Each structure stands twice: as structure tokens, then as C-alpha cells.
A and B are shown apart, each in its own frame.
Chain A
């Protein structure tokens, strides 16, 4: 007997995975930004970072860029709900004998998985550029990648559930993604940043994703890796609940 809940979740997850691997242009397009950041910032600021006594910048920056690429892919796959809602598969899923929560979980798991895969590809690229992580901690790293993916797919779904059309899409990228990324400790150490930036970063979930990833891969971090994991897990619960609640109110 196939489960009435888990099998549909698997089906919706599988759909996201298939779509991801089929859209080669999006995979490659999604790699352009992290590569530019890694090369331009990594090599451009490397010597300044080192002379400021902070060590190897590539080593510091790589976890931040991996986290960024996961966040962008995840928010985007959440936002894709708007397209699906009006044209694609969503109407089909809404009249299927499947609960809204099931649909939301399937989509979110699928989006988070593809975002994690994107993160792994960027991770492999960082190795080429000169990142030398602690391979023993790769499992922790993967967990944080998946965690970041879940947080931001759920956030994207929550935002998309309140939007009528794609007009606001650029706004989301500029108003949500960019500040979250720049004020997360992905690019610079928060310990030496001004107090108000530290405060903003304190409330930014990506901060803990980046910090956890950095802790796992390099052993250097602002918070304890356990604290990072707890915060990310807590934010997953909050955002998935928020996304599920907003999604349950969507009308097609």
C-alpha cells in the first residue's frame, strides 16, 4: 500500500529534481554569480584580508559563497510557486486529493534538495579555486547546506503565497536576498564589524547558516557549531510553518 502522504511528497519532490536537472541553463546561469564573487572578491581582497591579519580570504569566503548560492537557488524555487500557481502544475495539485501541507512539504523538500545540489557544485568549484576544507566534516557541511536550503525555500514559498504576480520578483531579490547575503558574515568577519551590522546579522538566519558551514569546513567560526545548528533548525520550523500557513490560504 503506498502512503497517501509520503508518496505524494515524494512525487512533488521528484518533480522539482527532474525540473532542476533538465534546466541546464539555470544550473550554469546560477553558477556565474558565485564564480564572479569568488574570483573577484577572493583574489581581489585576498592580500588586504591577509595583511589585516585575518588569514586566507578564499578559506573564509568560500563557505559564504556556497551559502549564498544555496540561498538564491532556494528563494527562487520557492518563488516559482507564482508561475505554477497561475499556469502550471499548482492548479493540478490543488484539485488532487492531497492536503495543502503535503504539497507544501513536497515542494519545499524538492526546492531545498536542488539548492543543496547547487551548493555542492559551488563547493566543488571552490576546491578548484583553492579552498581547502576539512573533508572529515563534509557531513556537517551537507547538513548545513540542506538546512539553508530548507530555510530559504520555505521563505520563498511564504513570500510567493502572498504575491499575485511576478511584478514583485525583482523587489524580492533586491530587498530580501541581497541584504540577507551582504549582512550575514558571508563576505567579512562580523567580529570586527561595526555594532549595528552585528545587530542586523544577529537576526539574519543566513548568518548562522554561513557560520555553521564555516565551522564545519574550516573549524573557524563566530558561534559554536551546535548553536548554529540549533538556530538553523529553529528557523526551519518557523519558516516552514509560516510558509505552510500562508500557502494554505492561497486561492487558485
Chain B
């Protein structure tokens, strides 16, 4: 790792404009210290997912600079991809494959040496307590099990950063608690940098060392959870968040993805 910075993620004046001059992300800057847990919060449509897509090489920024583990995602996409793991908002597992096969294919795509692959898969699957289900098709898994498998898969190529886009949405409190136990353990034992988004403010308050709040494409607060709560003169992060971003409910137009989601539900995911 280049030692010029202790930042795992460094973002400067980052902007993303889409067609029709819609500015999804508007001149944001922030740093994520290596080995820390960072929460990226904001209402729906605030620019969270666009930011994550830029950080993870899926979308090119309009202007500004990004450094992931000291590398530019636009210049060196493959090196950057090799250096992070990601759990998407929507499941990205192959339901028709077994848990083990999902892991095996991930290892293949990330160039994990074949000789090391079985041991690594076993290690990660034992870590998320899914080893006894390794030969079951993923479609038989519950939402929480899929999430755990995705976390295990995201870590298979030993990345330095793990991105989690709403990792606990739709899970019951038990499973959420379970997942956060894993994430914290990874952070503490393996020094993993964690960048996550969530709508559960208490998760950010409890787990993150630093929090950034984004709204209408701009970062409106960036500090420790305690400092944000103190500055807003509220009792907890949830109230501080509401105070910062307002009470209005953000309506998102149902795009193709939402329609597809509905269809997938109706068809029982094939």
C-alpha cells in the first residue's frame, strides 16, 4: 500500500451530472481513514448509491478526484476492483448455484490462486457460519443467509475495504445484530475498512467512527456520530438526521428496476 496517506478512501470535489443537467452528486469531499468504520447516510435519492458506484468503478465521475487505497478508479479500475469487496443493495448472488459455487466463481473472477481457493472459501464460510450449507442452492437461503454469504464472498479476495450498501435492509433485528457482529469482528481482527450506507440510524450511531450525511448531492454534515448529535442539539442520530435533512418524504419515481423487482417477486425469482 502506498504510504503517502492513511486514508483508505479520499474524495475531493467529486461531482456527477447525468443527462438533463441533473446533478446527483455535487462537489463532495471526504476522507475515510484506513481501518475505520464509516457510515454514509442520506434520504432516498440523495446521491448515496451514485457515490458508491463512482467509488467502486461502476460510474465515471463528471469531475473531481477519487483515491481508493491510493489508486484512481478511472485510471486503474482493475487494481481498484481487486482492492475492495462490495455487498450491493440488491442481492447479486446466483440463486441457481450452490453457496460454494458462488464463492468458487468469485475466487475465479478475482484471480485467487486455485491452490488457495478451497481453504479460503472454507475459512470465510465458517466465519459467517454457512459452511454446513455450502452445497445448498442459494435460492433455498433466507434473506439473512444470503447477506452473510455475500459478505463472505466480498471478502474472499482479501480486500482492504468493504463497501456495504444498505446491508441490513429488510432483515429482522436478530439477523441485523448478527451481521453487525461479523462486520465489527472483521474490522477489529483484520483491520478491514468498512464503508456502509443504511437507513437505520442506530446502526450508524453504534458502529461507525465517522458519519457523513448527504442530501441533494451535497454533504451537509461530516463528523463523529456524537459530534453530529451534539451540534444539532438533539437526543440521538435519528433526530439529528431528521433535523438536518427535513421531514419531507422523498418520492422516488419507480424506474425500470422497481418494476423488475415487482415482477421478480411475482414470479418468485424464477
Also in contact, A166 and B58, with CB within 8 A (given A87-B90, A95-B81): no
Also in contact, A93 and B109, with CB within 8 A (given A15-B94, A18-B97, A18-B101): yes
- CB of B129 closer than 8 Å to a CB of A: no
Docked complex: B71-117 residues within 8 A CB-CB of A? 77-79, 81-82, 86, 88, 90-97, 101, 105-106, 108-111, 113-114
B259 nearest CB neighbor, chain A only: A165
> Which size bracket describes the interface of B in this complex?
35 or more
The interface residues of chain A, by DSSP majority, are classed as helix
- Chain B residues with Cβ under 8 A from A95's Cβ? 56-58, 81, 86
- CB of B263 closer than 8 Å to a CB of A: yes
- CB of A2 closer than 8 Å to a CB of B: yes
Contact across chains for A91 and B114 when beta carbons are under 8 A apart = no
- The total of Cβ contacts below 8 Å across the A-B interface reads 89
Contact across chains for B108 and A91 when beta carbons are under 8 A apart = no
Please choose the segment from A3-11, A50-58, A61-69 that sits at the chain B interface, where 4 or more of its residues have CB less than 8 A away: A3-11
- CB of B231 closer than 8 Å to a CB of A: no
Q: Which residue of A22, A83, A92, A252 contacts B106 across the interface (Cβ within 8 Å)? A: A92
Contact across chains for B92 and A87 when beta carbons are under 8 A apart = yes
- CB of A231 closer than 8 Å to a CB of B: no
- Chain A residues with Cβ under 8 A from B56's Cβ? 95
- CB of A97 closer than 8 Å to a CB of B: yes
Q: Complex: how many Å from CA A8 to CA B59?
A: 22
- CB of A219 closer than 8 Å to a CB of B: no
Also in contact, A86 and B90, with CB within 8 A (given A97-B79, A165-B260): yes
Q: Which residue of A2, A23, A88, A96 contacts B113 across the interface (Cβ within 8 Å)? A: A2
Also in contact, A88 and B109, with CB within 8 A (given A95-B57, A95-B81): no
- CB of B257 closer than 8 Å to a CB of A: yes
Contact across chains for B264 and A23 when beta carbons are under 8 A apart = no
Contact across chains for B92 and A166 when beta carbons are under 8 A apart = no
Contact across chains for B109 and A8 when beta carbons are under 8 A apart = yes
Q: Which residue of A7, A8, A15 contacts B97 across the interface (Cβ within 8 Å)? A: A15
- CB of A220 closer than 8 Å to a CB of B: no
- CB of A134 closer than 8 Å to a CB of B: no
Q: Complex: how many Å from CA A91 to CA B88?
A: 8
A15 nearest CB neighbor, chain B only: B105
A92 nearest CB neighbor, chain B only: B92
- CB of A132 closer than 8 Å to a CB of B: no
Query: 18 new A-B pairs (CB below 8 Å) besides A8-B108, A94-B58, A96-B110?
Result: A2-B113, A15-B94, A15-B101, A15-B105, A19-B97, A22-B96, A86-B257, A87-B269, A88-B93, A89-B93, A91-B92, A92-B106, A92-B109, A95-B57, A97-B77, A97-B79, A97-B109, A165-B260
A-B residue pairs in contact (CB < 8 Å), sample of 8: A12-B109, A15-B97, A88-B95, A90-B92, A91-B90, A94-B58, A95-B56, A99-B78
